[in-house]
Every structure is written in structure tokens, then in C-alpha cells.
Structure 1
Amino acid sequence: MQTDMFPDLAFAATAERSDRNPAAWRQPLLRWLDGIEAGWAVPLLLLCFVAVWTGYLTIAYSGAGLHPDVLETWAFGRQLAWGYAKHPPLMGWVARAWTTMFPLSDWSFHLMAMTNAALALWFVDLVSRRFVTGDKRVIVLLLLMLTPTYQFHAQRFNANSVQLATWPLATYCFLRAFETRTMPWSIAAGTAAALAVLGKYYSIFLVMSFALAAIAHPQRRAYFTSASPWISAAAGLGALFMHLDWLVASGGAPIQHALAHAASDLATSARDSLFFVLGLLAAMALPAVTWIMVVGARIRRLPAEMAALNGGLRLLSSIAIGTVSLPVVNALIMGTDLPSLWALQGLFMFVVIIVCGTSHRIARFHTVNVAVLTAGIAVAAATVAAPLHALYRNNHGYEEGRTYYRQTAEEATRQWRELTGRPLAYIGGTESLALATAFYSADHPHYGLPAAADQPAADPSRETTEERGWVSLCFRDQPDCIGRAERAAARAGHFIRREFLVHSRLLGNVGCERAVVAYIVTR
């Protein structure tokens, strides 16, 4: 009687026959896999990934504007600084650099998001190369492409998704520094860790995991008695110096924003921590099932293989555990929010550990099958799911109003120019509409109202802003926004209230509608 906990799903005999005499349709994929160590297979995979998923985003959101987080990132990057009101500066820097090379359009920002995801996967491959060669390198990338992390999470280019690339880069540099203890890699480790922190302060958990993993490693004495960790620390602090100076001068504005997520009681934090872990497990569900299908009954070897990890993988496993456990401990102590999406950028470590820690060879039959599965999902998403998503959203809209962004920006700009005859300079109101108008209006006004309004002022002084005038936009079903806008307009002394309807449109087809209220201060 078969008593194995896991039936043999590896189809070993079929795999062996296929590898000896592969079907004709498998031949191109086999030639592609032959190019892994030659250096062209992984770049080709990533180029295809960017092309297909950029196409998906362009089609799926063809009747809608960019996500408010993306618009906020662009707004931050309009003024280069060492920090911004909500976040450290890396996301704004990237958006600013991108828009110096590419046009200000939706497809451009979709391409930026997917390029960032592909760069993240490239850095993951650098980590994998430390431990394996050939097909297993590609399997790591394919399994990660089966998570929602590098497509759907990545498309909202913000302080969370910018970490997709910084975390594997910092991890790779730290592994090399720990292994070699040379000055170049030590400097690179510190600088890359600082870059991750400049992306989001959540990356402090990654840096702490580096330190704790090094302390727990059998070679800790050799590492800590060398100059490497101290060079890394000095390089990291040096790279952060200007931001720390800005942070002090600004009164710690991003820290104050982060502390707004620290007001939960122990029961709420415990519940959030549970859902945090469950969310990460859910994100890994499809890759986990796929991996079990590949290895079959050999999954029983997993505990023994994890216990026999080499020094580098053991170090990586300690880092991976730290990036999950430290946020949970912090949430329970500090009462902070803990959405699982904050940690998605660290899941690559678990995939690398399990695939690279597997001692047996993976048949080409399985590698090709995983590649076909991954490609099939991507192509189906771009050709079937994306048009259906666009059609559905054109008829039902988004809560934040993305289907009306462009129309609202155009109408608000038209009415302003009709009243004043000059470009619109400043825009306020509900954050999503204001940011969207700043992006989609031909005038590209600055986001922010005068200091007299109930939100922070923009770059210029109150006097200059009031002299040039401004527009504040709210959806009619947002009474709080309308109240703030009306009070700010009343303080300005002279304003005009306008109301207009906007309709979603997809390829000329009119969908849902929503009313917008505009307060126009003309002087």
C-alpha cells in the first residue's frame, strides 16, 4: 500500500522520456534554456516579462488614470529633495529620472513599473547565481513571476514597490561582503542598504536582519573581527547623511507620517500580525503548488535539505526569517499596522533558499512546463483578462475615481482658462483628483493650496499663490472635502463654485458618471 504523505507527482518516467526525445514544440524552449549560462536567456526572459505585463497594464487601465500612489510619486519627483513629507526620497528620484527620458503618459509609467520589477528579478538572479547554475536560476525567476508581487503589486510604483529592486540588491551585496570581507563589497553592502532605507524606512528590518543573521552564523567571529561590517556601517551612514540632515531640518516629517500607523492595541496588532503572515503565505500559494508538482514525493526531503544548507544559504535563510519575524515583533510592541504587502519584496529569499537548497537535479521537462505555465498566465492576462478588466471598470468605476481623472483635469483646466485666460498654477481638494489634475492637465499645476487652507502649502508662499489663484476639486459625494474646500475658498475672499459631470470612456463607449465640485479662486 502506498503510504507516502506526498504522492509522486513528478512524472519521473514521462520527464525522462521527454528529455531523451523532446516534442518539437519544446525545442525552442530547450534552446532558450541552453542560453542561461551563455548569458542571454535571462535577459530575454525579463524583456518578454516587461513587454507582456506592460501590455497588460496599458490595456487593463486604458479607460482609467494612474493609481493615486503613482501620481503622488510623480508629484514628489517634480522637486528633487533629500526627503518628502510622507516618505524618504528614492521613489521621487526614480520618477524624476524616468520622466527626463520618457514622456509624461500612462504607458510610460506602466513601463517604469515593469522595468523596476524586471530589475528586481535581475538582482534576484544575482543572488541565485551564488548557489546554483543553469535551469534552477530560471526556475527561481519563473516561480516568482507566479506571485502577484512583480506585476500587480509592482504596478503601483510607490515607496513599497521601489523596494522590489533595492532589497535583492542590498542582500546580494551583503552576501558578498560577508563572504569576501573585502573593502569594495563592504562599501557596496553599506551603500545598497542605505539605498533601501531611502526607499522606505521599513527597510530597517532588512538591515537589522543582516546584523542578526551575521551574529547567528558560524563564521561570525571572522566577519566581526574584520573591518567589513564597520566599513559597511560607515558607508551606509555616509550615504544617508544628507537625508538625515534633511530629516532633522524637517522635524522628522516622514517619521511622523509613519507613526500614524502606530495606534493599535495588542489584540488588533496580534490579528494584523496573523493576517500579515497569512497574506504572505497566500502570495506564495501558486509557486508552492507548482514546486510540489515539480519535485513530487521528493518534497519529503525538504526538512533534511533545509537542515543541510551551505553557509551562504544558511545566512540567507536567517535574513529571510528576520524580515518576517522582526516586523511582527515590532507590531506587537509598538502597535503598528502590518499589511502583508509591506513585505512582499522579501519573498524572493524563500524561493531562492528552497530551489537552490534542493540537492537533486530538476529535469528539463519540468523547467519547460513551469515556463509554459508562467507564459500562459501572462499571455492570457494580457489578451483576455485585461480587456475584460477595462470593460468592467468603465461601467463600474473605481472608488478613488480613476476613470474620471483625465476628464476632470481637462474640464477644470478649461473652466479656469475660460475665467482667467492664464495657465492653472495650483490645484487642491481631494488628494486623488488634485494629483490627477496636476498630472493630466496640460498646465501641470502644482499640487497644494495656500497655507490658509486645511492642508499643507505647496512650494510657493501664500501671497504668491493667492495672487495667481487656484482650483480645489472634490467629488460631490465627499462632504468633508467640500467643506474644507469651501472654507479655504471663503478665506481667499472671492471664489466661484462650479459643478460638472464627468463620464468614463473606453474606446468611445460612455460608462459610469460622477459629479465634481470645483471651487475656483481667480486671484
Structure 2
Amino acid sequence: MPVDFAFSAMAKRSDRSPASWRRPFNRWLEGVEAGWSVPLLLACFVSVWTLYLSVAYHGAGLHPDVLETWTYGRHFVWGYPKHPPLMGWIAGAWTSVFPLTDWSLQLMAMTNAALALWFVDFIARRFVTGHKRLIVLLLLMLTPAYQFHAQRFNANAVLLAVWPLATYCFLRAFETRAPLWAIAAGVAASLAMLGKYYSIFLVASFVLSAIIHPARRAYLTSSSPWISTAAGLLALCPHLQWLAETGAEPVYYAATHVRADFLTSLQDAANFLLGLAAAVSVSAVTWVLIAGYRIKRLSRDIAASDPNLKLICHVAIGTIVLPVVISVFLCTDLPSLWALQGLFLLAVPVVCSTSYRIERFYTVNAALLVAGIAIVAALIAAPIHALYRNSHGYEEGRSFYHHAADELTRLWHEQMGTPLSIVGGNDSLGLAVAFYSSDHPHYGDPFAYQYSLALPHEVTPERGWAALCFDDQYDCIEWTERMAAQAGSYLRREFFVQSSLFGIPGVKRKLVAFLVAPSSSLANDVGAGKISADRIMESQNLFVLMR
């Protein structure tokens, strides 16, 4: 007989006569169909993991990807230079309501992850009831996608919620062939494309799974797929027009991932599969412990499952196989984190296809495992991480963002007496100053060393600008100094910044600042006493010496 990893006898006894400490959890399981158990789970998820982020990154700034997303969202347009616009739209809408603080954007990231799990539950409830729905969510919470991947709210993380929403709408459109669901499916698919062009693999998987479905004739001969196509293209029209008018910058940025080395691309494809396997490893082991000897029924259960559940299984296969094939064919790189938003496509068929009853014993144990990991992370791992980073720092310099922004703003006000409106130089520092400075200057072309984003029309170089580089970034310093010299009078300042955590001094680093005075109003400002004549003379002397 196979070993019973599931401890089925213990599980049955526990369900018949649960221990007193299990009874509150059992009441929670009973509330799934009543409608309060899943919201409670998601609220606890958001609370604990937002606390983790607040503690783990206390004293440090937000990840540059998050700052970039916020920078995009400062202005509503139909596209941005590096990525499609959805992530910027969401950040812009969020910060129009919530304050510009670290905890606010951390809450946004975790809310996005919770919304993703909520949409996954929409799919799961089509096939199962009761606490099996919770098992799907708990298994996904054991992956890194909904905490660590989600906290970097960027073009990848925004797909966490959009992919399950698009899948649910496609499933309903396929099932009902109703016009409203067809429109919803098309619009949701276009949202996925507006999140990241990688979503083309999801849309292609929808098409392929519909073609091989037993009910394909009824669906394909109905108006539903054509309504979806028309609605999706209509929703994409403004972005497509923007691409045509601006030279399709995001497409060219995506093309930078194309390589000429076939073997490297093949290795990346293998690492892509290994990365996904690693991401689901804890969930897979947990599921094996739940299923026990019943795990041998998995293939048979999936084969005998609801045809529409197999539809989701085929979508899952498509979103894994298609990227691998295309990547090897085009010789591109393929990080596994690009596909983490699709892990739900694996969890739903595995759990929802089970033909046997799953005892509450296992669901409670899975919930305890998820809760235990989250609590240990928030109360133990987070402070350790914060202490470690305070003394060792981050590669991108997150430990210094707050101090760098404050010091540059202070220098600018001291020298120029006007609000800082433009910041340039190093990407991560420039984005950080834009976010953390009390002036919230704009960051982008032509003052950014590498970053590509047009400044608003009302923000002109004549208003003056400042730039920051780390002292060991010689290319950034040389390029910025040339820009400053071409602009006219400028000051160069060097200063140290040091991280600090609850008064504990940490790593220290040197920064180089360039301050270019407002050109059109320079004389007026001298006359008004905003900028002293001595400072202007000092900046002009420096300008002559540096040239």
C-alpha cells in the first residue's frame, strides 16, 4: 500500500470530534458560502504583509520600480516609453486618494495582490464550494508571487489581478456566449495587454484553448468571440494610436530583450521552467500532504473534470509552453518572474478537479501554515532584514533616498530660493527625489542620465534644475556635468548621506549634486534678493573653471 502522507485517519477523527482550538477555524470554514470567510482572509493577508513591508523596509525608500510606476502615473497618457500605461494609471488613481508615503504604495501593492486572489476565487467558485475554495487561495499564498513579487508594483506585478480577471471574463463569455460577457472578456484582455505586452501569451492561450474545447463549434459560430475581439480592439485603439504617433517606444524597449545567442536563450528557457517549479514548490509539497495516497488520482480527475475546468488547464499549459517556444525561436531572455501572475492557472484545476472530499483538518492546517509564515515574516524576519540592510545597504541605494532628497532640496532652496521643479542624474536617485522631496520635482528627459520620459509641457529648463549621482558613477557625473555646463551657471556640491534605523547609524555613501540656476529669471531673482550676487558670481566662476 502507498504511504498515506495525508494522515487520513487523523483527519477523519479531527473532523468528527475537533479539538477545541480548531472550532473557531471550522466556523471560519463554514462562512465561505455565507460570503465573509474569503474577505476576512484577504483582509488579514493585506494587513500582515503590509506590516511586513513597512517594518522590513523601514528607513529605506521604495523600490525604484515602484517609484518609476508613480512617476508614470503623475500624468495620464495613453502610453509610456518603457511599458504600457496600466500600472501608471493605477498608481496615479491611488495617489490621488492616498498620501505620497511608503506605507501608502506598499498598501497599494498588497491590495493589488488581494484583488488578484479575489478574482481567482471568482473562478474557483465556478467549480467547487466550501473550503475547497479556500485551499486554492491558501496554496497561492504559499508562493512568493503575492507578497515579494507583488511588493515591486511594476508592469509584471500589475498583471497579478488583471490575468485572473481576464480569465474569469473569458470563461463566462465561453460558457454563456452572452454579449455583455463577451464585451467584458474583450475589455479585460485589452487591460492585460495595457499592463504588459507579455499578456499576448494569455490571449493566444484563450484562442487555442477555445479551439480544442469540445464545445468549440457552439462558441466559435456564435457572436461571442467576434464581439470580444471588437471590444478588445476598440479598448486598445487609443494606445495603438499613441504607439503610431510616438514611434512605438515600448515595443522597442521590449525588443531589447532579444538576443543573438541561441544557447543562452535555451538556457534561459530552462531556467524559466525551473524558476516556476521553485515558485510552486512549497504549494506542491503542501498539496501532496493534503492529497496523500489520493495524489495518484490527479491525472484521472483532471481528465474527468468539467470541460470548462479543462479549458483553464489548457490556458495554463499555453501560458507556459508558448513563451518558451517563442523565446527559443526569437532568441530572447525569459525570466520566470514574467509568468508568476499565471500560477493560479495551475492551482485552480489541481484543486477543483478533485473527485474526493477534502477534510477540514487539512484546510485548517494549511491556514495555520500560511498564517505562521506571515506572522514570523512580519515579527521576526522583517526586523532582521531592516537591520541587515541598514548596515549593508542596497545595490540601487534605497537606504539613502530620503536623506538624498531632503539634502538636495535644502541645497536648492538655500542657493536658489525657489521650489525645485526638475531633477535629473542617476535614475534611482532622480526618481527618489521626485517622490520624497517636499517639492516633488519632475524627473525625465533630457536631464535623466538613462531614464526616458518626457517632462510635462509646463516644466521647462528655464526654471532651473538639479541632478544627483553617486560619487562612483563616473559616467553619470561626466554626462551630467556636460549638461550643466551647456545650461550655463551651475554649482557642484558633494555631500555624504548615511542610513539610520531607530537611531542606529548604518552604511554611508557620497553623492555629487549639480544645481543649475533658473536662466530666464536669474536677473530678477538677484534683484529680488532670492539669489545672492555672491552665489551667482561663485557659480559663474565655477562654470569658467570647469569648462
TM-score, length of structure 2 as denominator length? 0.93
Q: Which amino acid is 1:478 matched to?
A: Q
Q: Distance in 2 between matches of 1:455 and 1:138?
A: 43
- Residue 457 of structure 1: how far off its partner (Å): 6.6
Out of 460, 468, 473, the position equivalent to 1:473 is 468
Q: Post-superposition shift, 1:454? A: 7.2
Of the structure 1 ranges 28-37 and 301-310, higher mean CA displacement relative to structure 2 is found in 301-310
2:323 corresponds to 1:327? yes
SS in 2 for 1:154: helix
Counterpart-to-counterpart distance in 2, 1:453 and 1:142: 44
Equivalent residue runs for 1:32-181 within 5 Å: 32-181=28-177
In 1, Cα distance between equivalents of 2:445 and 2:187: 37
User: Against the structure 1 CA distance between its residues 264 and 147, is the aligned structure 2 distance closer, same or farther, given a 3 Å change threshold?
Assistant: farther
The residue aligned with 2:213 is 217
Tell me if 1:497 matches 2:495. Answer: no
Tell whether the 8 Å contact from 1:438 to 1:445 is kept in structure 2 after alignment: yes
Q: 1:103-502 to 2 correspondence within 5 Å?
A: 103-450=99-446, 456=452, 458-460=454-456, 465-502=460-497
- SS class of match (1:171): helix
| Higher alpha-carbon deviation: 356-365 or 486-495 | 486-495
CA distance in 2 between counterparts of 1:350 and 1:95 reads: 29
CA contact (8 A) 1:264 1:337 kept: no
Shift of 1:451: 7.0
With over 3 angstroms needed to count, the CA separation of the structure-2 counterparts of 1:115 and 1:451, relative to structure 1, is: closer
Gaps of 5+ in 1: none
How far apart are 1:334 and its partner, in Å? 1.4
Looking at structure 1, the residues matched to 141 and 450 of structure 2 have their Cα atoms a distance apart, in angstroms, of: 43
Shift of 1:70: 0.2
Rate the CA distance shift 1:421–1:36 in 2: closer, same or farther, 3 A: same
Distance 1:113 1:242 in 2: 27
Q: Which amino acid aligns with 1:46?
A: L
Deviation track 1:340-366 (CA, whole Å, cap 9, x = no partner) reads 000000010100010001111100111
Larger Rg: 2
Q: Give the secondary-structure state (helix, strand or coil) at the position aligned to 1:64.
A: coil
Instruction: Give 1:494 shift.
Output: 2.2
Task: Tell me which amino acid in the other structure corresponds to 2:480.
Answer: A
Paired AA for residue 517 in structure 2: T
The separation in 2 between residues aligned to 1:78 and 1:455, in whole angstroms, is 16
Contact map agreement 2:158 2:195 (CA 8 A) in 1: yes
Deviations 1:150-187 (A, max 9, x none): 00000000100000000000000001111111101111
Q: In 1, are the aligned partners of 2:259 and 2:265 still within 8 Å (CA)?
A: no
Q: Is the 8 A contact 2:131 2:363 kept in 1?
A: yes
CA 151–65 in structure 1, closer or farther in 2 if over 3 Å, else same: same
SS at match of 2:492: strand
- AA aligned to 2:514 is Y
**C-alpha spacing 1:477/1:215, structure 2 compared with 1 (3 Å):** same
Instruction: Check 1:243–1:182 CA distance in 2 against 1; reply closer, same or farther (3 A cut).
Output: same
Amino acid at match of 1:500: F
SS in structure 2 at match of 1:514: strand
Alignment RMSD, CA only?
1.4
- 3-state secondary structure, aligned to 2:147: helix
Q: CA 1:453–1:295 in structure 2 vs 1: closer, same or farther (change >3 Å)?
A: closer
- AA aligned opposite 2:401: Y
Task: Give the letter aligned to residue 417 of structure 1.
Answer: H
Report if the CA contact (8 A) 2:426-2:449 is conserved: no
User: For 1:10 and 1:460, how far apart are their aligned partners in 2?
Assistant: 60
Distance in 2, matches of 1:480 and 1:35, equals: 60
* In structure 2, distance between residues paired with 1:239 and 1:346: 23
Cα separation, 1, equivalents of 2:439 and 2:10? 63
**1:460–1:81 distance in 2 versus 1, CA, 3 Å:** closer
Residue pair 2:81, 2:452 contacting (<8 A) in 1 also: no
Matched residue SS, 1:39 = coil
Cα shift at 1:306: 2.2
Structure 2 counterpart of 1:45, one-letter code: L
Counterpart residue type for residue 225 of structure 1: T
String of CA shifts for 1:231-284, please: whole Å, max 9, x gaps: 000000111111111111111011011011112421111000000010000000
Q: How far off its partner does 1:465 sit?
A: 3.1
C-alpha displacement at 1:456, in angstroms? Answer: 4.7
For 2:92, the aligned partner's letter is R
Long gaps (5+) in structure 2: 519-547
Q: 148-157 or 486-495, which moves further after superposition?
A: 486-495
> Does 2:15 align with 1:22?
no
Q: 1: distance between equivalents of 2:268 and 2:53?
A: 30
Residue 461 (structure 1) shift: 6.3
How far 1:309 moved relative to its partner?
A: 2.4
Q: Take 1:251 and 1:102, find their aligned partners in 2: how far apart are those partners?
A: 34
> Partners in 2 of 1:345 and 1:456 — Cα distance?
27
Q: Which amino acid aligns with 1:480?
A: D
Contact 2:495 2:510 in 1 (8 A): yes
Please list the CA deviations of residues 350-405 of structure 1 after superposition, one character each: whole Å capped at 9, or x if unmatched: 00010001111100111110011110100110000001110110010000000000
> 1:176 is matched by which residue type in structure 2?
R
Cα gap change, 1:117 to 1:452, in 2 (>3 Å): closer
Q: Is the 8 A contact 2:421 2:463 kept in 1?
A: yes
Query: Once the 2 structures are TM-superposed, how far is the Cα of residue 452 of structure 1 from its aligned partner?
Result: 10
Structure 1 distance, partners of 2:457, 2:238, is: 25
Give 1:510's aligned residue. 505
* Matched AA of 1:211: V
Q: Secondary structure at the match of 2:512?
A: strand
- Cα distance change, pair 114–460 in 1 and its aligned pair in 2 (3 A): closer
Using the aligned pairs only, state the percent identity.
63
